[in-house]
Amino acid sequence: MISEEIEIRTGSEQTVHDLTGECERFLSQVDGDGLLHVWVPHATAGVAIIETGAGSDHDLLKALEHVLPRDTNWRHRHGSPGHGRDHVLPALVPPYATIPVLGGVLALGTWQSVCLVDTNVDNPVRKVRLSFLAG
């Protein structure tokens, strides 16, 4: 297995950050089949396979705001108002994804991208671990 940790600056706004390019760069060192595992070691972020650039990333954030409103009704109350919702996010958008790799290339569908989902405005920098397990 080969593994690498990268750092992503998400800033101070909720975001869906496309990681596909970083995943492809990481996979440029392999040429076989296997699995790419993407792991976010944070309690307030997740990984999603979603279309980007056509509004779906914005729609995902809007849906998360509807399901997990940024209000003061959360028991977990440290951080900015509504931060408790960020700690529930990984139950809905898990902190990992595993994608097949064929001939060193991600086996994604036509419109699929690997994305970091970060609703935590208190943490502007995220770590992402990319690991390739040869098949």
pLDDT in tens, 1-21: 999 999 999 999 999 999 999
Q: Which residues contact 110 (CB under 8 A, 6 or more apart)?
A: none
pTM for this entry = 0.95
DSSP string of 12-70?
TS-EEEE-HHHHHHHHTT--S-EEEEEE---TTEEEEEE--SSSHHHHHHHHHHHHS--
Give me the domain span that covers residue 103. Answer: 2-134
Residue 97 sits in a domain whose CATH number is: 2.60.120.460
pLDDT in tens, 11-56: 999 999 999 999 999 999 998 999 999 999 999 999 999 999 899 9
Count structural domains, the chain: 1
pLDDT in tens, 61-88: 999 999 999 998 889 878 888 899 999 9
Question: What is the rounded CA–CA span in Å between residue 15 and residue 116?
Answer: 8
